[in-house]
Structure 1
Amino acid sequence: MKLLLTSGGVINKSIHEALVDMLDKPIAECNALCIPTAMYGHPWVGPGVKAWKFITGREENPMVNLGWKSVGVLELTALPSIDKERWVPLVKETDVLLVSGGDALYLYHWMQQSGLAELLPTLRAVYVGMSAGSMVMTPKIGEEFVGWTPPTGEDKALGFVNFSIFPHVDHEMLPDNTMAAAEQWAAALQGPAYAINDDTAIKVIDGEVEVISEGHWKQF
């Protein structure tokens, strides 16, 4: 699997170059699918205008608006109600998945319910996550980030990587997301973790981890 796990999207030159390196052709020749599902589970970002802005590429965080050949929408909550033959081939043929922020556990739930979680390890597509879209790939998110409560009541996620992620460190609109708070969060997890700001991303190819940053981050 090729994963680009960002905090704030493809927000600077270094992250953009990392993405281009992960693709097997230029962005202008790549077909993308955006997944807005996580937004619906978070009261700050969806449903409504912000979900529309993500899908249409009109938000400030660069994801959908990077110049793709085409962009489609893959809404996970709809997939259990339609035949897999209608959407699985589409996902297998796409070059990149663009997964929005929002609520990581809501996203995890619908990745499982839709069948996408099972399909992900088999895909050739590059997976680009933003915030919750990145956190969902980790073993667990930590109690601090639990909003929507899954049926299990647990904070576990997909576990496709062996570390957890604390996003948006020192973001001006998130005063509680300090590096000190991240250290407390990491101590409670008792496992590998990274705290990253929006100018940082984590690149993972076949289990090999590389931090891409023009900002600041810390590994725990």
Structure 2
Amino acid sequence: MKFLLTSAGVTNKSIHTALIELLGKPIAESNALCIPTAMYGHPWVGPGVNAWEFISGKSENPMVDLGWRSVGVLELTALPSIGKDRWVPLVQETDVLLVAGGDALYLAYWMKQSGLAELLPSLNAVYVGMSAGSMVLGPQIGEDFVGWIPPIESDEALNLVDFAVFPHLENETLPENTLAAAERWAAGLKGTAYAIDDQTAIKVVDGSVEVVSEGRWKVFPQ
């Protein structure tokens, strides 16, 4: 699977170009599935109007509204209650998964419970994550981002990429997300980590990592 891990969606031309390169065809010829699940676990986000805005392409974060050939909704909390034959073929045939932000550990839990986490490595689709949708793929999220507490009481994530992500670096609406805070966060992790702002994305293809940015970012090596 190919990954495009963003802080705030496809916010500039560089990230947009990287997405098209990963797809290998125009957005207008690509089918998408959006995943709003992480939003439900975060007290600032959803459920409610923010989830609807994401799904309908009316949010401030460019993802669902990019001009896809089609967009469907994949709600992870519903998948354990239906047969895999109802949803696995749909996921296998889609061109891109658009994964919303919210609570990363809540998302990790439902990715595992639904079976999507196990399926992801075998997919040909492009995975586009936003904020928690990006953080969930790393080995851990770090104690600073723990909100919803999973049954295992751990900050472990899916470990599908070998680095952690600190999103929204130096965001004016999140004054606590400073570079100094990111450095402290990274010091508590076991491996490599990236702090990225809302104009930055991390592109991962076959384990090769490339930063795509028109903004600020910093890597904290292992």
Q: Find the counterpart in structure 2 of residue 19 from structure 1.
A: 19
- Corresponding letter in the other structure for 2:2: K
Give the structure-2-normalised TM-score: 0.98
Q: Find the counterpart in structure 2 of residue 2 from structure 1.
A: 2
Matched, 1:179 2:179: yes
Q: Find the counterpart in structure 1 of residue 35 from structure 2.
A: 35
Q: Find the counterpart in structure 2 of residue 146 from structure 1.
A: 146
Other structure's SS at 1:128 match: strand
Q: Find the aligned partners of 2:161 and 2:12 in 1 and give their Cα distance.
A: 24
> How many angstroms does 1:74 deviate by?
0.1
Q: What does 1:44-193 align with in structure 2 at a 5 Å threshold?
A: 44-193=44-193
> How many angstroms does 1:25 deviate by?
1.4
Q: Find the aligned partners of 1:203 and 1:118 in 2 and give their Cα distance.
A: 21
1:135-185 Cα shifts (integer Å, max 9, x gaps) = 000000000000000000000000011110100001011010000000000
> How many angstroms does 1:190 deviate by?
3.3
> How many angstroms does 1:60 deviate by?
1.1
Structure 2 stretches of 5 or more lacking a match? none
Q: Find the aligned partners of 2:188 and 2:121 in 1 and give their Cα distance.
A: 29
- Corresponding letter in the other structure for 2:41: G
> How many angstroms does 1:24 deviate by?
2.1
- Corresponding letter in the other structure for 1:61: N
Which stretch of structure 1 is more off in the superposition, 187-196 or 121-130? 187-196
- Corresponding letter in the other structure for 1:20: I
Q: Find the aligned partners of 2:191 and 2:120 in 1 and give their Cα distance.
A: 24
- Corresponding letter in the other structure for 2:159: G
Other structure's SS at 2:38 match: helix
Aligned residues: 220
Q: Find the aligned partners of 2:174 and 2:142 in 1 and give their Cα distance.
A: 17
Q: Find the aligned partners of 2:190 and 2:80 in 1 and give their Cα distance.
A: 35
Other structure's SS at 1:62 match: coil
Q: Find the aligned partners of 2:202 and 2:134 in 1 and give their Cα distance.
A: 9
Q: Find the counterpart in structure 1 of residue 205 from structure 2.
A: 205
1:38-82 Cα shifts (integer Å, max 9, x gaps) = 000000010000000000000111000000000000000000000
1:122-145 Cα shifts (integer Å, max 9, x gaps) = 111000000000000000000000
Structure 1 stretches of 5 or more lacking a match? none
Other structure's SS at 2:124 match: coil
- Corresponding letter in the other structure for 1:197: D
> How many angstroms does 1:96 deviate by?
0.2
